[in-house]
Amino acid sequence: MDQPSHQNGNESTEDHTLQNGKSEDNDFEYKEYHVNAVDDLDPVKCIFLCEFHPTAGPKISCQEPADFITKEVFKTVSRYIIPKIQLQRSFLSVSLLGKKILGYPVRIDNKQYTRNAFYFNFCFVFAPTTRTVVYEPVVRKLTEYMLTMELSTKILSQINDAAQATRLARLLAQIRTDINRKRMCMLQEGSTIIPLCVVPHYREQPVVYAHSAVILNNTFYKYVHTQWDLTTLRILPYINGFNHISRISAMADVAEGLVIDCVKHLVLLGVAVIVPVFQYSNVYRPTPKLSQLAKCHVLQERCIERCSKSNLRQAKVRDIFRIFASMAHGATFGELCVRFNPAALNINEKQMVLFGLLEGLIRRVDRYPITVSRNLFYDDEDAFAFLNKKPVTPGPIDTFDPLFATDAAPPKNRISHPLPRGNNKRQQCNSGSGVGAQFFYNGLKSLDEICCSRGISSGQLEMQLAKDRHVIVLLK
């Protein structure tokens, strides 16, 4: 039998199940909502109201369907259904005799009751293998709703009244039916509507940065357009996989924090994916999954559909595979475009990179600048030659990184310089706004994040990094 798990009423907790003396906490990994296939059609077996009678003690006042919980079963678990005061407003889960009971006990202190207090608990009954953590918000919201009803109409304490008992039985029947069929129920009392929704439970919240790009997947279009909130509808036209969050915020005229919250909500629902922002100066690497592109015909058809510039002259999988396979640490994507000329091969290079990221065929190599006291890889002569060199790059490429140049000669003599003190030359070189270089170049912020926060292009930032002899770039 389960030991009651408890914590603050405002927090969700995992139910701790003990069967045959062994804990099953580590046997489940709940990344998405799922129930047992046998109980998928009817996960909520029963809903009942338990109260503490002043003379009879704990008892079931109403349940739907009737007589689902027998007196013998209830007598066994009653001490956990109506627990001590220390466990009030905590989720309690008990599993035994082929049933799992989830409750949220509440105590009302008022002198109008017989013992100056009224204890009650609305409990949901499931199969013993059901993950009940996704139902905890429903149980808590229902309990809070009935608490308000009790304070105004005494619907719980006056359950002996036939009208009140009938009203409560119909309410429980409606909740159970709607939760099982639609995973949501709308309770209405006058002009007030209380939604009870079973939402997926995620172990970790998605991380969304201002420099992240987002794209919608095919699942998004299964939802009705009018179901989304006004803020989401306002930013949807600007979500294309290439605009980052800050740009979407500016184009849609919506606060950046609201855009981040909306994107998190879309990612949690599984209708959007976070991808790195596209730039021709990015460096990509193929993953082991790239071999599937040469074997899987379905993946090849999807690749041609997504990466071709037009349906009249479609791209070839062989050409796309060659570009993916040629991606290495030493070459930017812009240099690969110069080498292969995707436009002549009927390839949309932006959609090709986006397809590779979404399918896991490639990954982007992030760059993190860091300030050091001595840079052993810096040569004054080579840096001066680079800064005065006119790079030959294609039209859309506006960046050129000396650290990734394939034709750059190795340094002739390694010269180390001490970190300058007592002046702001290096600080002014790295930031025109006068912000210290250590703030940006601590090795924890990527080039995208620095460009987004400072409002400069990647080409400008890379030129500043090339001028600073005390900065090196880490690849990850």
pLDDT at 401: 36
pLDDT digits (tens, 9 = 90+) for 101-154: 999 998 888 888 877 888 889 999 999 888 888 898 889 988 888 888 888 877
Closest CA to 51 of 12, 89, 78: 78
Name the residue with tokens 């912020």. 445
Q: Which residues of 44-77 are buried (b: 16+ CB within 10 A; e: fewer)?
A: bbbbbbbbbeeeeebebbbbbeeeebeeebbeeb
What six digits make up the tokens of 63?
């349940």
Q: State how far the Cα of 409 lies from the Cα of 406, in Å rounded to an integer.
A: 8
Task: Note down the domain range covering 338.
Answer: 283-364
pLDDT at 457: 83
What six digits make up the tokens of 129?
């293998």
Closest CA to 11 of 136, 183, 198: 136
45 and 193 belong to one structural domain: yes
Segment 183-211 mean pLDDT: 78
Residue 194, pLDDT > 90, answer no
pLDDT at 287: 94
Segment 166-184 mean pLDDT: 88
What six digits make up the tokens of 438?
């250590």
Could you count the other beta carbons within 10 Å of the beta carbon of residue 435?
13
The more confidently predicted of residues 216 and 75 is 216
CB 239 within 8 A of CB 216: yes
Name the residue with tokens 């510039």. 309
Q: State how far the Cα of 45 lies from the Cα of 34, in Å rounded to an integer.
A: 16
DSSP 235: H
pLDDT at 403: 33
The more confidently predicted of residues 37 and 474 is 474
Q: State how far the Cα of 265 lies from the Cα of 246, in Å rounded to an integer.
A: 17
The more confidently predicted of residues 9 and 227 is 227
Segment 50-70 mean pLDDT: 85
Residue 182, pLDDT > 80, answer yes
pLDDT at 256: 93
49 and 102 belong to one structural domain: yes
Tell me whether residue 32 is in a domain.
no
Tell me whether residue 27 is in a domain.
no
Tell me whether residue 202 is in a domain.
no
What six digits make up the tokens of 103?
């409750």
Tell me whether residue 6 is in a domain.
no
188 and 226 belong to one structural domain: no
Q: State how far the Cα of 277 lies from the Cα of 257, in Å rounded to an integer.
A: 19
Tell me whether residue 324 is in a domain.
yes
Find which of 180-189, 323-332, 425-434 is predicted with most confidence, using mean pLDDT. 323-332
Segment 382-394 mean pLDDT: 48
Q: State how far the Cα of 466 lies from the Cα of 143, in Å rounded to an integer.
A: 62
Among 95-109, 153-167, 354-368, 383-397, which is the least confidently predicted range? 383-397
80 and 104 belong to one structural domain: yes
178 and 45 belong to one structural domain: yes
Which of 224, 241, 271 corresponds to the end of one domain? Answer: 271
- Total structural domains in the chain? 4
pLDDT at 214: 94
299 and 375 belong to one structural domain: no
Strands (DSSP E) found in 199-242: 213-216
Residue 325, SS3 per DSSP: helix
Q: With DSSP H G I counted as helix, E B as strand and the rest as coil, what are the percentages for the chain, rounded to 5?
A: 40, 20, 40
We report the CATH number of the domain holding residue 165 as 3.30.450
Tell me whether residue 413 is in a domain.
yes
Tell me whether residue 204 is in a domain.
no
What six digits make up the tokens of 156?
């719980």
Q: Quote the distance between the C-alpha of residue 164 and its chain's center.
A: 43
What six digits make up the tokens of 137?
């918000």
pLDDT digits (tens, 9 = 90+) for 164-173: 788 888 888 9
239 and 295 belong to one structural domain: no
Which of 146, 172, 197 corresponds to the end of one domain? Answer: 197
Residue 183, pLDDT > 60, answer yes
Residue 397, pLDDT > 70, answer no
Residue 414, pLDDT > 50, answer no
pLDDT at 399: 37
Among 69-73, 151-155, 265-269, 372-376, which is the least confidently predicted range? 372-376
DSSP 23: E
The more confidently predicted of residues 421 and 457 is 457
pLDDT digits (tens, 9 = 90+) for 300-340: 999 999 999 988 889 999 999 999 999 987 789 999 999 99
Which of 197, 226, 248 corresponds to the end of one domain? Answer: 197
374 and 335 belong to one structural domain: no
47 and 187 belong to one structural domain: yes
CB 262 within 8 A of CB 235: yes
Tell me whether residue 11 is in a domain.
no
**pLDDT-based confidence at 203, cuts 50/70/90?**
low
CB 104 within 8 A of CB 143: yes
Could you count the other beta carbons within 10 Å of the beta carbon of residue 283?
23
pLDDT at 437: 42
458 and 345 belong to one structural domain: no
Q: State how far the Cα of 476 lies from the Cα of 474, in Å rounded to an integer.
A: 7
347 contact partners, CB below 8 Å, separation of at least 6:
307, 308, 309, 315, 319, 320, 323
Q: What is the CA radius of gyration of the chain?
A: 31
Give the containing element (helix H, strand E) for 185.
strand 184-189
Residue 14, pLDDT > 60, answer no
Segment 372-390 mean pLDDT: 57
333 and 242 belong to one structural domain: no
359 and 341 belong to one structural domain: yes
Q: How much is the mean pLDDT over the chain?
A: 77
Residue 417, SS3 per DSSP: coil
Residue 385, pLDDT > 60, answer no
Segment 446-450 mean pLDDT: 87
